[in-house]
Amino acid sequence: MSTRDTMELKEAAIRAQYDAALALLNGFDHAPRLGKAMTPDRVEERSAGLGTRPRFRATTPGLVTRPAARPGGVRIVERIEAASDGLLSPAQASVLHALRRALAIALAMADTFAAQSPLGELKKANLEGRLPDLRRVEFTELLSAEALLSLYTFANATAFLLAPQLGSTTVEIGTVDEILTDNSPLALQGVLWELDQDIAAFATDEPRLAATVAAFAEALMDKVALRAQTAPRLEGFTTAGWKVEADGLTIAGFTPARAAKGSTLAMTFKKPHEVVGNHIAKSQSQRLAKMLMAYDFERKLNPFAELGGFIFTFMGDGKPGTGKTTLIQMMAGLLNDYCAVAGYPFRYQNFSIDQIDSYQGKSGQNAKAFVNAVLDPGVIGFGTIDDIDQVAGKRGDRQSSAGQQEVTAVFMQAFAGSGTVVRGNCTFGMFSNYPENVDDALRQRAGARFLVDGPQTQEDYIDILSLLLGKNHAIPLGAHDLFAAQEIKKAVAASFERHSRPQEEGLVRVWERLTAEIGPLDTLAKIGRYLKAIQEADPRFTGRAVKNITDAVKVRAMDFDLPDAWMEQPDLFLFKPYEDKLAMIRELMSPITVEMVIQEINRYADSEFRYADKSDAVAIESMVRDLHRTEEARRRYLEAKA
């Protein structure tokens, strides 16, 4: 896999732009062309926290029918100073320093682009009055490209530099309208004019100042990236990368650079022996935690992802109280400990029902922010979606809110969309007591299935009783080898062996009919006929299901645990070059067998049949209740009429 060429954006080139950047912050005059100035009256008319600009506005010059606005002074330094008590606070100064630095980086990036493209020569020719008519279109397109990359770099650097200063305060500013692409200086003036408007409207205190500027930067990045998708002459910017060493900022086209900052977890971690039962789920969670640690921060890729054995998304389902939360606590605890030893930033995020908002579009924004935080290639990420049947709406379900439908759309695009890139630095876990209520297409985007069925055997129940009682008792253990049943390799082997035959009644019928007809499934042709027979029994068993099964088989081919010593002593594996890690993993791999394929087909298909049966049963029970209500209502109506 080729990597992006990365060059250094020289510190001297950035500092050379400090005076120009400070001049923009100190003041200039600007007549808005696309945006509309806010007045105090207009700000007060809106509810607190909502954007004051319309969500949709024509952005094509010439279509604006209102009279041109008069030039107005933009004084961002004065605007921020006016909110102080005569002396800038450290927080206000930090915002101004971040803005100046971001502007200087954007101006230096624009100069670099001009020097490496024909734009520099065309600018000189234009100033000297010798620009050929045949190249005027090219000149205009290059100026527009320079404006777009300047705007994106400014927003990208601002968001990156302000990230450490952000707390829990959030601000919703609406869209950014004053995006001008005539040239780079005018483009920066336009967005600074609009930023000045937002600071006046929303930055009522210090925490909201940084939050307002950061929200503006995020909104600007989204708008400019969308515009850049169809803009010409941007190849020189999108195919290369630049590193700002002093800040640790990487400029990689229209991709946001986020500060590699881990999250401090307020969570009670669980050790593997404290997870009783759930043997396959526990084993795969432990292996996945170690797989994530193989991620190479320089290459931005994980050897397991390249080899095809990485679990990007998984679904854990089971009855209430069977240990889903305990499983999350175990995996998060393992990753937290591994990252602490290696010095890697670890970020855990959970998306729950309280992030569904009644404000249109806000739920989708929350879901997108959650996904982006976990996907950040600068961290090891673990994202969980608890009770996903409540969080994400089922398409076509009239009881699902608009917010739940927005969340479903975001997750479907993020987990298996056209732009999904699996680097191997993060994984997403979806958990539910009622997976049959999850949208079929979203559920099928879970590459692995963890059946969280809790304790099953007599030994499991003795182990969990002893574990939960603690040590404040003198009750003898009796004839039992404590936690011996939780020996992971032995338990997992037995669990996989059970899936040599299907478990669900509907799938058993398919299995018995086909094996009676063609005998043992020992060739690819016979296995393919089994897959087709499953699809005939359940049309929801599609090509995506086959992909998920083959991914799970590849994981089984890596049926080994990375040695604990590799996690405890990073020099043995974690800090080695990417190629060395890839070779070390290849040496541990085992060949794929027929038994692996059959077991994974049965495991996956069992889960789909289980979901389908439950979904149909719930729907039938609901219809029966409705018919009973209708019958009772008719009876009462006739009695009252008589």
Burial class (CB in 10 A: 0-12, 13-18, 19+), 90: exposed
Claim to verify: residue 246 and residue 379 sit in the same structural domain: no
Let me know if residue 498 belongs to a domain. Answer: no
Let me know if residue 440 belongs to a domain. Answer: yes
CA torsion sign, 202 to 207 to 210 to 214? negative
Considering only CA atoms, which of 297, 323, 635 is closest in space to residue 468? 323
494-527 pLDDT per residue, tens: 666 777 888 888 889 999 999 999 999 999 999 9
Claim to verify: residue 214 and residue 290 sit in the same structural domain: no
455-503 pLDDT per residue, tens: 777 887 888 888 778 888 888 888 887 776 665 555 555 666 777 888 8
What per-residue confidence (pLDDT) applies to 502? 87
Token pair in block for residue 478: 């009796």
Claim to verify: residue 235 and residue 292 sit in the same structural domain: no
Let me know if residue 336 belongs to a domain. Answer: yes
Residue 483 DSSP symbol: T
Strands 249-251 and 240-244: antiparallel
332-351 pLDDT per residue, tens: 999 999 999 998 989 999 99
608-636 pLDDT per residue, tens: 787 665 555 656 776 788 888 888 888 88
Claim to verify: residue 300 and residue 247 sit in the same structural domain: no
Claim to verify: residue 327 and residue 232 sit in the same structural domain: no
Q: Which residues contact 92 (CB under 8 A, 6 or more apart)?
A: 80, 81, 83, 84, 206, 209
Instruction: Answer yes or no: are the C-beta atoms of 250 and 6 closer than 8 Å.
Output: yes
Residue 555, domain extent: 272-492+550-591
**Is residue 57 scored above 50 in pLDDT?**
no
What's the mean pLDDT in 558-584?
87
Claim to verify: residue 282 and residue 217 sit in the same structural domain: no
CA torsion sign, 601 to 604 to 608 to 609? positive
**Is residue 258 scored above 80 in pLDDT?**
no
What per-residue confidence (pLDDT) applies to 37? 78
Claim to verify: residue 280 and residue 245 sit in the same structural domain: no
Claim to verify: residue 94 and residue 190 sit in the same structural domain: yes
**Count of the separate structural domains present in the chain:** 2
Claim to verify: residue 209 and residue 315 sit in the same structural domain: no
Give the largest Cα separation in the chain, rounded: 100
Claim to verify: residue 241 and residue 326 sit in the same structural domain: no
Claim to verify: residue 176 and residue 302 sit in the same structural domain: no
Instruction: Answer yes or no: are the C-beta atoms of 424 and 294 closer than 8 Å.
Output: yes
Claim to verify: residue 22 and residue 136 sit in the same structural domain: yes
Mean pLDDT, the chain, as a whole number? Answer: 83
3-state helix, strand, coil in the chain (%, to 5): 55, 10, 35
What per-residue confidence (pLDDT) applies to 240? 86
Let me know if residue 520 belongs to a domain. Answer: no
Q: Which of 202, 221, 251 is the last residue of a domain?
A: 251
CATH of the domain at 347: 3.40.50.300
Let me know if residue 419 belongs to a domain. Answer: yes
Q: Which of 222, 251, 280 is the last residue of a domain?
A: 251
pTM for the whole structure: 0.58
Q: Rounded to whole angstroms, what are the CA distances from 470 to 56, 328, 346, 458?
A: 60, 21, 31, 19
